[in-house]
Amino acid sequence: MNVPASRRVLTGITTSGTPHLGNYVGSIRASVRASRQPGVQSFYFLADYHALIKCQEPARVQRSTLEIAASWLAAGLDPEHVTFYRQSDIPEIPELTWLLTCVTGKGLLNRAHAYKAMLDKNQAAGAEPDDGVTAGLYLYPVLMGADILMFSAHQVPVGRDQIQHIEMARDMAASFNHLYGEHLTPPAALIDDNVALLPGLDGRKMSKSYDNTIALFGPREQLRKQIMSIVTDSRAPGEPKDTEGSALYAIYRAFADDAEAAAFAQAFQGGIGWADAKQQLFERIEREIGPMRARYEHLMAHPEEVEAILQAGARKARALATPFMQTLRHAVGLRALTAQPDRAQGDKATARAALPSFKQYREADGRFYFKLTDAHGAVLLQSQGFESPREAGQAVKRLQSEGAAALPALASRLQATPDPAAPALQQALQQLLAASQA
């Protein structure tokens, strides 16, 4: 596998709504700063295929694509120094999605958070389990895996609630490489614990779903009006106020430096009135966002400029994707009838395919897990969480060296008590035991 000398980082935003302050603080601002780091190849894309999963309004998808592209560019993203593209302009991505679909176990997709959330919602409503579940919703982790693996991204910035997406992409890469040779780069999650979820107007997470967002590049007076509508408690001017749990303070903290945040907290303790506090918040946000607004408004008025930038980005992206996809097509056997297979690689892949494999990973709860999968990625065994990777590794080592005989002792550390006589599990553990003794 050809690994670039520099580190590759990839970020995408789904084009299904108007960017708000939460998007800016949680993704756009951090992405622009990261794009300026030395030794980093940055890939930024507009995830319009993903938008179709939840949004069947063509005009909204198109408008959102323009708004998000204009927001990134207005915030300082330099398309000359990054690869900035629209997902649907890269035909190799859906092609890779299909290749990954063919090596991804259904059991893996069954555990996707979005799918499980729909099942829980339907159960609570007394509906059929898969009511309202489209194939797009069910398979979206595979498309996300293709987004990441197409450009051999080493790191993907995500919040802790999105770590599962990266782990699933790693599983897909492992399954593909297991069968066809080392072609796909397993990504790692890049987590910034300093980036908190921004609260919205009502104190809940800022989200289009809650209709509580503050538009990123709305008119100045609209920004002021929205900030003045942030929900606060009934404490009067002169009464000390708590910063803990205050949406007003949390939003201010996301834009302020340490000294400014400390001064604002002191003002809370001193009994600042809510109207004055909101005015200070408005002025602090406007100081950062205001200078970008003119550029945003210009781009929104000239979509042809944004389109030209995206087309140039697509050419850069496809210069990498097209030859890489040719390599992957050859690897899986989609090649000219006169083409010669790579015998050494084929023998190596065949040998690997004969063995199941353990995968160890860390979940969003901070605990360490492992699972045993067969050559096709189907899960045969799934652990409970361990406090340390060492504990998880010791359990894996015991299963590798003792086989099915280790199952009774480890039963309490597994998500479901397995049947040691289950043919697939029995065969897998026997293969691993034989390999450890070879």
Nearest-5° Cα angle at 75, 303 to 227:
100
- Predicted local distance difference test score (pLDDT) of residue 243: 93
- Predicted local distance difference test score (pLDDT) of residue 346: 53
Q: What is the CATH number of domain 354-437?
A: 3.30.160.160
Return the number of other C-beta atoms located less than 10 Å from residue 91's C-beta. Answer: 13
- Predicted local distance difference test score (pLDDT) of residue 286: 97
Tokens of 337: 């009838």
- Predicted local distance difference test score (pLDDT) of residue 351: 47
Tokens of 240: 């000390």
Q: What is the CATH number of domain 7-197+302-348?
A: 3.40.50.620
Which amino acid is residue 155, in one-letter code?
Answer: Q
- Predicted local distance difference test score (pLDDT) of residue 303: 98
Query: Residue ranges of the chain with pLDDT lower than 50?
Result: 1-5, 351, 353
At 187 the three-state DSSP class reads coil
Helix H or strand E encompassing 21: helix 21-23
Residues 6 or more apart whose CB falls under 8 angstroms from that of 130 comprise 118, 119, 122
- Predicted local distance difference test score (pLDDT) of residue 367: 86
- Number of DSSP helices (H) and strands (E) in the chain, helices first: 18, 8
- Predicted local distance difference test score (pLDDT) of residue 4: 46
- Whether 7-197+302-348 shares its CATH topology with 354-437 is answered no
pTM: 0.76
What are the percentages of helix, strand and coil residues in the chain, rounded to 5? Answer: 55, 10, 30
Provide the residue ranges of all domains of the chain, joining segments of one domain with +: 7-197+302-348, 217-294, 354-437
- Predicted local distance difference test score (pLDDT) of residue 167: 93
| Dist CA 40 CA 34 (whole Å) | 8
Percent of the chain surpassing pLDDT 90: 66
Tokens of 339: 């083409």
DSSP notation for 331-393: HHT-S-TTPPP-HHHHHHHHHHHTS-EEEEEE-TTS-EEEEEE-TT--EEEEB--BSSHHHHH
Q: What is the CATH number of domain 217-294?
A: 1.10.240.10
- Measuring CA to CA, how many Å separate 272 from each of 19, 158, 248, 262? 31, 36, 12, 14
- Predicted local distance difference test score (pLDDT) of residue 20: 94
Q: Pairing between strand 40-47 and 83-86?
A: parallel
- Predicted local distance difference test score (pLDDT) of residue 433: 74
- Predicted local distance difference test score (pLDDT) of residue 179: 92
- Predicted local distance difference test score (pLDDT) of residue 2: 42
